[in-house]
A and B are shown apart, each in its own frame.
Chain A
C-alpha cells in the first residue's frame, strides 16, 4: 500500500508565489535555495508542470542530470506543450551523450518555435553542435 502524502490546502496564488521566489533565487545563482523552494512547492502541488520544469532547470544547472531529466519528463507528462522543458531536455540529452535523441528533440523544438524565438534559436545552435560533433 502506498504511503499517504502530506495534504496541504494551498491556493494557486501560493504555489505561483513560491514559483516566483524560486525563480528569483535561481536568477541570483542561489541554486540550492531555488531547489528547496521548488521542492516545497511540489509537496503542496504534486505534479505541477511549471514547478517540475523549474526544478528540472535547477538540477540541470547544478549538473544533477538524471534528476533534471526525470523532472523534464514529468513536466512534459503533466503538460506536453511545455516548451522550455522540451528544449532543455534536448540540451540535456546532448550533454548526457544521447545524440540521436537530442537531435530529434532539438528539431522538434525548432519546428515548434522557428529560429526567431529564443528557444528555437538556442535549439538550432545546439543542433549544429550535435550534428557536427564527432
Chain B
C-alpha cells in the first residue's frame, strides 16, 4: 500500500516534469537542435565550430534527459495501471 502511494507520488512529480519537459522539447530543444545542426554546414572559424559543438551537445543531453524522464513516467504508468 505504502509502495503504491509512493509510486503515485513519484508519478505526479515526474508527470509534471515530463509535461513541461515535453512541451519544451517540442517547442525549443528539438527545433533549436535542428537549426543548430544546419549551422554545421556554414563557414565557421575553428572557435565557432567548437562552440557550436558545445551547444549541440548541451541540447542533445537536454533531449536525452527529457526522453529518459518520459520512459520513467511510462514505466510507472504501466505499474500503476494508468
Binding site for B on A (CB under 8 A): 3-6, 8, 13-14, 17-18, 21, 24-25, 33, 36-41, 43-44
Nearest chain-B residue to A7 (Cβ)? B48
Smallest beta-carbon distance A60→chain B, Å: 20
Q: Is the interface of B mostly helix, strand, loop or mixed?
A: helix
Quick check: is B13 within 8 A (CB to CB) of the other chain?
A: no
Binding site for A on B (CB under 8 A): 24, 28-29, 32, 36, 44-45, 47-48, 51-52, 54-59, 61-62, 65
Contacts of A25 in B (CB 8 A): 61, 65
Q: Within the assembled complex, what's the spacing in Å between the Cα atoms of A15 and B29?
A: 11
Number of A-B contacts (CB under 8 A): 58
Contacts of B59 in A (CB 8 A): 18, 40
Q: Is the interface of A mostly helix, strand, loop or mixed?
A: helix
Q: Within the assembled complex, what's the spacing in Å between the Cα atoms of A36 and B45?
A: 21
Q: A3-B45, A4-B45, A17-B28 are in contact. Are A24 and B55 (CB under 8 A)?
A: no
Q: Is the CB of B45 within 8 A of A13?
A: no
Q: Is the CB of B62 within 8 A of A18?
A: yes
Smallest beta-carbon distance B43→chain A, Å: 12
Q: Is the CB of B47 within 8 A of A17?
A: no
Contacts of A3 in B (CB 8 A): 45, 47
Q: A18-B62, A25-B61 are in contact. Are A6 and B32 (CB under 8 A)?
A: no
